[in-house]
Structure 1
Amino acid sequence: MKITTNITRSDYWDYNKYALFNIPKLRNRFMISNISVPVVLTILLLLFKLPFVFSLCWGIFGGGLACVFSYLNMKKRVMSYPDSKEGILGERTVEINEIGIHQLNSVSQSSYKWSGVRSVEQDEKYIFIFVDSIMAYIIPKRSFGSEGESLEFFRQAQRYLDNCSS
């Protein structure tokens, strides 16, 4: 099965959000930072002999602001990519067959055998074919003619992966 798609900044941002909240390694790191920043800030304020309630409130508030700032900074960085960030954004052709997954864009081509693929996942807008713990081929479902075609592509990729591991 072959599909031609166009990856936009929004697609790449959506992938980063998906990875942040669904990949255990990234999710754990994000959660640890969300917990540790308010705790450290509270402890620092207590070291200045400020009242406990005051320190706790400002620790939580300041830590929350730091977490929001970090998230928004990541979004700003991704959304500031030029429309033609070669290799990441732009038009590409993705093909899956019994051998593996193949991608071709204006500056590169890549292939992975199914034995090198970690997982095939999807959400409401995308199909992700993970070839590493955090690297995936992003395939927007809007690239297909219908929801049935995107479902067939997803199921076929899962079959190829399952056949490889059995």
Structure 2
Amino acid sequence: MIKTINISKEDYLKYSNYAVKRLWKSKNKSTGFLRNMILWFFLAIGFMFIFQVKATTFESFHWQSAAIAIAPFLIFIVAYYLNVRKFKMLCIPNENGLMIGEKTIEVNAEGITETNPLGNCFYRWKAIEAIEEYEGSIYIFVDNLLALILPPESFTSEEEKDQFKGLIKKYV
């Protein structure tokens, strides 16, 4: 079976988000450093507030000091998310390069051949780790993070998509 596909920047970003979540779930069962830091921050504020309620009244509570104490944490959180977003945008591949652009995928008994304007790559069936579907796209993972992306527009119908997945699963 031969499929000609066109991967857009949006398709790649959707794949990138999915791949990172998939990798994170499979390797790490924790909730993440930033989430834990925020949780412990609010727990500490809550405990301090509970212990101080009897000692002070709201009239004597110094809201300016509380705002100054919270400001560095809020600045850190905003800076963190802005840097993550900037890093994600810097990691987008070139248009009409190896990942984004038009390519042809050929599936046969030996494996999968991916051909694009810059070259081609052959993957034997033992290199395929998983085939997963997310929001209509099919991802054929050949490593933990690397996958062949087949956007929903690559298929004319659900039957064709199911036939393609069945062909891949036959060999994997």
Which TM-score tier does this pair reach, normalised by the shorter chain?
0.7 to 0.9
Distance 2:68 2:87 in 1: 30
Query: Does the CA contact (< 8 Å) of 1:9 and 1:78 recur in 2?
Result: no
What residue number does 2:32 align with?
A: 32
CA offsets per residue over residues 125-159 of structure 1, 9 Å max, x none? Answer: 21111111111111112111112211221122122
Corresponding residue SS for 1:88 = coil
Name the Cα RMSD after superposition: 3.3
Structure 1: which 5+ residue stretches go unaligned?
A: 43-50, 162-166
Instruction: Return closer, same or farther for 1:71/1:146 CA change in 2, 3 Å cut-off.
Output: farther
Name which of 54, 61, 67 aligns with 2:74.
61
Checking the alignment, whether the CA contact within 8 Å between 2:20 and 2:145 is kept in structure 1 is no
Matched, 1:4 2:15: no
Work out the CA distance in 2 between the residues paired with 1:60 and 1:28: 25
The aligned counterpart of 2:46 is none
- Count of residue correspondences: 150
Superposition deviation, residue 11 in structure 1: 1.2
Residues 148, 160 of structure 1: alpha-carbon distance in 2 compared, 3 angstrom cutoff = same
Partner Cα distance (2:166, 2:113) in 1 = 17
Partner SS state of residue 81, structure 2: helix
SS in 2 for 1:128: strand
CA distance in 1, matches of 2:140, 2:148: 5
Answer with 1 or 2: which has the greater Rg: 2
1:120-135 equivalent positions in 2, closer than 5 A: 120-135=131-146
User: Is residue 2:74 matched to residue 1:83?
Assistant: no
Residue segments in structure 2 that go unaligned for 5+ positions in a row: 43-64
- Greater RCO structure (CA 8 Å; 6+ sep): 2
> Which residue does the alignment assign to 2:19?
19
Equivalent residue, structure 1, for 2:150: 139
- Paired with 2:27 and 2:89, the residues of 1 have a C-alpha distance of 19
Q: SS at 1:18's partner residue?
A: helix
Query: Which residue identity is paired with 2:9?
Result: R
